[in-house]
Structure 1
Amino acid sequence: MISSGRGFTIALFATLATQTVSAQKTTRIDSLVNQLHNPSDKHVMVTAHRGDWRNAPENSLQGFKNAIALGVDVIELDLNKTKDGVIVIMHDQTIDRTTNGKGKPSDFTLNELKQFHLRNGLGRVTNHTIPTLEEVMLLVKGKVLINLDKSYPYYNEAYQVLKNTGTLRQAIFKTDAVYDAVKSKYPEILDSITFMAVVDLDKPDAKQIIKDYQQNMKPVAFELNFKTDTSAVLSDNHFINQHGSKIWINSLWASLNAGHDDDTAVDDGNTKDSWDWLIAHGATIIQTDRPKELLNYLRKRSLHR
């Protein structure tokens, strides 16, 4: 017969062991996915635009490694396709600007494309080559979320890569197409992916586009772009969170945010009219060209997990 004191000790030990195992099962990706799908969480997620392109070639594995080391939550990258049907990471429709080659990715097989080398921000040729989506997803697996820009023509191919690498929940698919068009083009997978709608607030039907999506599905977020900051959606966007979606705003170029941009924050030292303004207007995901500086700023304000 076990004494009551000993029984209590055993029960306590079992409870603590269970809690420890449970805590160990919660990974960084678990936390990021949970935060992404929680529109009421006011902490700001930081997205590195094309990786850490100031210290490595844009859309390179090294640039993505750097971004992960900084502690970003999401990495944005761009999809393209080779002649032999492999999804690679390339922003432009040609490789002319970012490599020492010329032509479209679709002009080359993957093996041929790998012969070219990426240029850094100064235009100098490096040893880095154009990565495939598979290489990227294996690199980031369990570490960070991925935003698939320029992916709309390649949803099916990207979906298969993500399934094969076990990284489907880490990826955000996006497009500026309206709901009916997306549903018509990808009826088989739309309910199986994490999806974000991109909306130009300067268009008169912007709010209706958002409502159409909300009535038919629940996008994880809405990416709001605007050259002017007079849209009614900016002044009254609580309905977006209330219907289960986060608000994503880009702090890159002024043309995407009416001048409430990274340069205003970093070069001018004016966060009031840049990052603070974006946060005050509902942004809980900010895509930036200054990930290090934005992370430091948010951490000082206890706005980053």
Structure 2
Amino acid sequence: MKIKIIFTAIALQAVTYCAVAQNKVMVVAHRGDWRNAPENSLLAFKNAAAMGVDVVELDLNKTKDGVIVIMHDQTIDRTTNGKGKPADYTFEDISKFGLRNGLGRVTYNHIPTLKDVMLAIKGKKVMVNLDKSYPYYHEAYGILKETGTLKQAIFKAEVTYAELKEKYPTLIDSIIYMPIVNLDKPGAKKIITDYLNKMKPFAFELNFGKDTSSVLKDNRFITNTGARVWLNSLWASLNAGHEDDLAVEQGNTKDSWDWLIAHGATCIQTDRPKQMLEFLKSKKLHQ
């Protein structure tokens, strides 16, 4: 009985700590600081980390010789001066292409590897959000273990717990994980509760084209467990129009960033990290 009471006290203390910690909002830089460096470049991630963001988001892909590289698209056509898929090239060959900046100009930056990125941010107060990583969990896990950065990486996927368990049964208890849930789809809340009953997710990335879901009206059943609510302020299809450009270009934070915070966001992924940090600090919602 005494042991049970002590355990309960510790559990309550942990929940209280999480609730206090979640008074702050984490800032996630989508593809790094891509307005001042090529997207998904090592420089973009270094810039974002120096800026003070909490997480940088990047996208995984794989070369012909099995190297995990950072590339959002299925081809390198848009973001480099090369053509074709990463899988068409060895890493040595794909490294010869230059990344393009926002104006389309070829720069001196090159496609980085996941290992490059993790070594660059190792020990810094910033995490990495591994988007498009679901096919590469084993390879990514190996790189994180090799570089000693496993605690700085968030794995993610838009799958049910049962699907995750079937595909990666030996990994799910060894990684920091975040489910992606589309709130517009039937059964979205059940997907969330299934995860909460079976593991301890870092957060739930909630996407929605309509802002009518009951989960947005009250998501304390998520945050009371210590998990965070991750909302995207990128483009309208992910947030029903409560987006970055409404805040920055129109000066309307009431219907954008304020709205996301009012609806439970404790992580916000943004294309405007500098402005988002300034906004949150003005509200004492970021260090």
For the superposition of Structure 1 and Structure 2, which TM-score range results when normalised by the shorter chain? over 0.9
1:150 aligned onto 2:141: no
**Conserved 8 A contact 1:40-1:241:** no
**Conserved 8 A contact 1:117-1:129:** yes
Aligned-pair Cα RMSD in Å: 1.2
User: Partner residue of 1:45?
Assistant: 26
Question: How high is the TM-score relative to the length of structure 1?
Answer: 0.87
TM-superposed CA distance for 1:244, in Å, is 2.7
Task: Read off the aligned partner of 2:249 and give its amino acid letter.
Answer: D
Q: Aligned partners of 2:64 and 2:18: how far apart in 1? A: 40
Partner residue of 2:174 out of 192, 196, 210: 192
Match of residue 140 from structure 1: 121
Length-normalised TM-score, structure 2: 0.92
Q: How much does 1:38 deviate?
A: 3.2
Does the 8 Å contact 1:222/1:248 carry over to 2? yes
1:78 Cα deviation after fit: 0.2
Give the conservation status (yes or no) of the 8 Å contact 1:38–1:246.
no
1:202 and 2:184 equivalent?
A: yes
Q: Is the 8 A contact 1:39 1:246 kept in 2?
A: no
Secondary structure of 1:190's match? coil
Number of equivalences: 270
| 1:52–1:63 contact (8 Å) kept in structure 2 | yes
Rounded Cα–Cα distance in structure 1 between residues aligned with 2:202 and 2:118 = 20
Give the SS at the match of 1:135: helix
Kindly state the Cα deviation for residue 39 of structure 1 after the two structures are TM-superposed: 5.1
CA–CA distance in 1 between the matches of 2:188 and 2:142? 32
Q: Pick from 211, 221, 226 the counterpart of residue 239 of structure 1.
A: 221
Does residue 1:168 correspond to 2:143, yes or no?
Answer: no
Superposed displacement of residue 201, structure 1: 0.3
Q: Which residue of 2 aligns with 1:14?
A: none
What's the counterpart of residue 56 of structure 2?
75
Q: Which residue of 2 aligns with 1:304?
A: 286
1:287 is matched with 269
Unaligned runs of 5+ in 2: 1-13
Q: Work out the CA distance in 2 between the residues paired with 1:67 and 1:242.
A: 30
Q: Deviations over 1:37-63 (max 9, x none)?
A: 935421000000000000100000111
Distance 2:79 2:85 in 1: 12
- CA 1:153–1:296 in 2, change beyond 3 Å: closer, same or farther? same
Q: What displacement does 1:241 show?
A: 1.0
Counterpart-to-counterpart distance in 2, 1:190 and 1:39: 25
Q: Does 2:87 align with 1:106?
A: yes
Is the Cα–Cα contact under 8 Å of residues 77 and 89 in structure 1 kept in the other structure? Answer: yes
What SS does structure 2 have at the residue aligned with 1:192? coil
Q: Deviations over 1:75-130 (max 9, x none)?
A: 00000001000100000000010000001001111001101110001111111100
The 1:93–1:256 alpha-carbon spacing in structure 2 relative to 1, beyond 3 Å, is same
1:259 aligns with 2:241: yes
Match among 274, 296, 300 for residue 256 of structure 2: 274
Shift of the alpha carbon at 1:216? 1.0
Q: Gaps (5+ residues) in structure 1?
A: 1-33
> d(CA) in 2 for partners of 1:284 and 1:264?
20
Partner of 2:105: 124
For 2:133 and 2:151, the matched residues in 1 are separated by 16
Q: What CA distance in whole angstroms lies between the structure 2 residues aligned with 1:40 and 1:252?
A: 27
SS at match of 1:142: coil
Structure 1 residues 39 and 102: alpha-carbon distance in aligned structure 2, compared to 1, 3 A threshold: farther
